[in-house]
């Protein structure tokens, strides 16, 4: 059962940096709205890839689709952010940006926030679970991560 939240990771009142789906990532954002984590996969050689592209990284086939994955992963790396890279994030510091490896998606890696105490020392290779952050007024859902 996926975990969901309608509470924004950012403090109340901040302008939320909005995702800008460009067409190739539509399947990814459509999956998030359904609270499903999807990864692009080649229909010819079955290789997973992320971020989405027009052709397969391995065989160059243009025959790509979206495959639902479990939403469980491993913490590959993380960094604690002390200085905001965007004015909208100034009040959110510190926060943790995580790189998550998805074993059931060929080991592709995704980036997102690690929820919880921003001062935690999360162990590398720790198991994490996707958490879906709904923004119904803006019409999108984001994926964040939490330690299992």
| Residue 43 belongs to a domain | yes
Would residue 31 count as lying in a domain? yes
Residue 129 lies in a domain: yes
* pLDDT recorded at residue 21: 66
Q: What is the pTM of this model?
A: 0.84
- Domains in the chain: how many in total? 1
In a domain, 47, yes or no: yes
State how far the Cα of 25 lies from the Cα of 52, in Å rounded to an integer: 6
Q: Is 22 helix (H, G, I), strand (E, B) or coil?
A: coil
4 confidence band (pLDDT: 50, 70, 90)? low
In a domain, residue 94? The reply is yes
Which domain covers residue 59, as residue numbers?
Answer: 21-147
pLDDT digits (tens, 9 = 90+) for 34-79: 999 999 999 999 999 999 999 999 999 999 999 999 999 999 999 9
Determine, yes or no, domain membership for 13.
Answer: no
Is residue 77 situated within a structural domain?
yes
Q: Can you tell me the distance from the alpha carbon of 18 to that of 29, in angstroms, rounded to the nearest whole number?
A: 12
Handedness of CA 50, 29, 96, 1 (dihedral sign): negative
- Give the whole-number percent of the chain exceeding pLDDT 70: 85
**CATH code of 100's domain:** 2.40.50.840
Higher pLDDT, 54 or 7: 54
In a domain, 124, yes or no: yes
């Amino acid at each position: 059962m996926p975990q969901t939240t309608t509470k924004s990771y950012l403090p109340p009142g901040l302008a939320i940096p909005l995702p800008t789906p460009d067409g190739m990532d539509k399947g990814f954002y459509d999956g998030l709205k359904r609270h499903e984590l999807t990864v692009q996969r080649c229909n010819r050689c079955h290789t997973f890839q992320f971020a989405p592209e027009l052709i397969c990284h391995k065989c160059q086939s243009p025959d790509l689709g979206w495959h639902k994955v479990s939403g469980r992963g491993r913490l590959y790396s993380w960094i604690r952010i002390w200085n905001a890279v965007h004015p909208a994030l100034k009040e959110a510091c510190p926060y943790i940006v995580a790189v998550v490896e998805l074993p059931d998606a060929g080991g592709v890696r995704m980036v997102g926030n690690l929820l919880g105490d921003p001062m935690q020392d999360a162990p590398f290779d720790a198991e994490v679970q996707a958490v879906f952050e709904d923004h119904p007024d803006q019409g999108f859902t984001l994926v964040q991560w939490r330690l299992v």
